Structure formats: C-alpha cells, structure tokens
Amino acid sequence: MTARIIDGKQVAADMRAELKAEATKLRQQGIVPGLGVILVGDDPASRSYVTAKERACEEMGIYSDDNRLSADISQEELMQKVKNMNNDPKINGILVQLPLPKHLNEAEVLLSIDPDKDVDGFHPMNVGKMVVGEEGFLPCTPHGIIQLLIRSGVKIEGAKVVIVGRSNIVGKPLANMLIQKNPRGNATVTVCHTRTKELANETRQADILIAAAGRPNTITADMVKEGVVVIDVGVNRVDDPTKKRGYRLVGDVDFEAVKEKASLITPVPGGVGPMTITMLLYNTVASAKRAPGKGQ
C-alpha cells in the first residue's frame, strides 16, 4: 500500500474560494471583514508568516490593518495598540504574532484581546468555550487539521486517534475538539508526550495518528499499523548541502517509509501549514458575520 497524499494546498485553496464568496456577500451588505495584525520586532519567520497573511487578506477582499512595531516597544505601548484594535469597529479579528520579545508579557497581551476578536482562539474564554463545546473561535492549526480530515473523507467518529505532542497550540486543543459530541468529533483520543512509556505501543493502535512533537523522525514505519491516516504537523530544518539554502524542511514523520503503510498522509511542506492561515481568515469572516454593522 502506498498512501494517498492529503494536499493541504488544495484544501486551503478550496476553503479560501468559499471564504472569498462569503466576504463578497458581506461587502454587499456593507460589512468588510477586518483583520488587525501586530508584529513586534523583525524575526524572519514571523515576518514571512505575517506577509503571507497580508497577501491572503488582499486576495480575499479582507481589510488588513498591519502594525509592524519596534522590538523595544514597551508593554504599555503594546497594550494600548491592542486596546485601540478592540475599540475599532473596522477590526473583526486581532492577531498578535508570537513569539514576542522576552521583555514583554505574552500572557497579559493575549488576555487583553477582546474574546470576540480573538481569531487565534488563544484567549482563556475561547479556550473554555472549546472545552465545554460552546460556539467560539477554534484555534487555527487544530481546526485546520480537522478540516483536512473531513474534506479528505476520513471518518472521525468512532476512530482511535493518537496525538503525539501536548502543546497548548496543537496537542491539547486538538484532543479537546476531537472528543466533542459533534460531527467533527466523537473520537477516542490518546495524547502521548515525552513521558509516555512504550510510545510505539500507543501509536500502533491509531486509526488516525497526528504527529506534533517538533522532532524529525519521531514516527517511523514500525510505529504505525497498515492503513493508518497520518497527519504530520512538524516543521523541522535539517541540514542538506544539496539545497541552495543549505537545509530542507521535514516533518515529525519518516515520510518515505511511513507512506508505504499509511492510507493517507500529509506532506511537509504542503500539508497542515497552508491550513493555519486559512483558518485564521475563516475565523475573521465568522467574526464579521456575528457582528453585522461592525464592518468597515
């Protein structure tokens, strides 16, 4: 068996076409979805990510208020920027790009974002709503993973899901979402981590295996069963002198070996990555729809 590749770029493109149509309908009602972005400092990865978000907003007709701030900005100045966006009716969603410089208190900044504009889904109020199954903003990467599964025809209900990784950004929220009593959930979920004993014994039981450990080759072919669906969240740089940049990107899964046993698998890059920005835009449009009359 050789796995069918789950093309995250194509799924993201399909969703963006749907969202563009939604945004067009909103504009016809006088509502322009707006995303406020705050980037502190000049980290290359963060800058690249924010630039991609800006480009996506432009393509979809979403208003983008971009704020690129000095790395030495004070906590008070940054908090005021967030407050201004909270009070700006043109802004439906607020994104503060992480990580922030070490002298800034990330938790305080995220807590200051209006939960109704928290399109990253990181505010404790939205996390709480997610846990109890109430409507709210779902975190982008976990929600993107679920969309990849659903749109690839994978049955989640009743599946044995094993997640390797317990971060607040992927592992924990994804586990919570998959156990919910709704069409996107009803799975039986095991969360593994660095203290899990006999990891391979756990991963071999998975119908759906999600690798979010942040380490290359965490999942090898002997750790999966035939026919498993594999979602690789990892993005790791490994040295490769044959590449112009001197490195290549790989996931947490030994892709070439595991794809010979899996039924479906995501590549790195081109799998989960394109979905994260798409789900951010999804949340921004959803916020605009919930707040008629608050568009630009």
Q: What is the CATH number of the domain that holds 84?
A: 3.40.50.10860
What are the pLDDT digits (tens) for 56-90? 999 999 999 999 999 999 999 999 999 999 999 99
Residues 144 and 262 in one domain: yes
Residue 174 domain flag: yes
- Structural domains counted in the chain: 2
Kindly name the residue from 116, 118, 120, 207 that is annotated as catalytic. 120
pLDDT per residue as tens digits for the range 164-191: 999 999 999 999 999 999 989 999 999 9
Same domain membership, residue 233 and residue 147: yes
Give all strands of the β-sheet with 93-96 in edge-to-edge order: 63-69, 34-40, 93-96
Residue 190 within a domain: yes
Residue 20 lies in a domain: no
Point out the catalytic residue in the list 53, 81, 259, 294.
Answer: 53
Q: Are residues 146 and 262 in the same domain?
A: yes
- Evaluate if residue 29 carries a pLDDT over 50: yes
One domain for residues 152 and 205: yes
- Domain boundary at 114, 132, 155, which? 114
Mean of the pLDDT values across residues 230-252? 90
Residues 155, 75 share a domain: no
Q: Does a structural domain hold residue 156?
A: yes
Measured distance CA(206)–CA(173) in Å, rounded: 18
Confidence of residue 292 (pLDDT cuts 50, 70, 90): low
> Are 154 and 269 within one domain?
yes
Does 230 fall in a domain? Answer: yes
Residue 7, domain member (yes or no): no
270 and 170 both lie in a single domain: yes
Looking at the fold, whether 197 and 254 belong to one and the same domain comes out as: yes
pLDDT reported for residue 50: 87
Sequence-separated (6 or more) residues with CB below 8 Å from residue 4: 263, 264, 265
Percent of the chain with pLDDT over 90: 87
- Catalytic residue (choose from 81, 97, 252, 254): 97
Q: 146 and 230 share a domain?
A: yes
The verdict on 164 and 51 lying in the same domain is no
List Cα–Cα distances, 185 to 38, 41, 143, 147, 176, in angstroms: 33, 38, 11, 11, 9
Predicted pLDDT of residue 62: 95
Q: Is residue 205 part of a domain?
A: yes
- Do both 156 and 67 map to the same domain? no
- Per-residue model confidence (pLDDT) at position 239: 86
| Alpha-carbon gap, residue 179 to 190, rounded angstroms | 10
Domain assignment of residue 19, yes or no: no
What residue numbers bound the domain in which 230 lies?
140-275
**Average pLDDT score over residue span 119-126:** 95
Q: Residue 213 maps to which CATH number?
A: 3.40.50.720
Would you call 261 a catalytic residue per the annotation?
no
Whole-prediction pTM: 0.93
Looking at the fold, whether 36 and 106 belong to one and the same domain comes out as: yes
**Catalytic residue flag (residue 294):** no
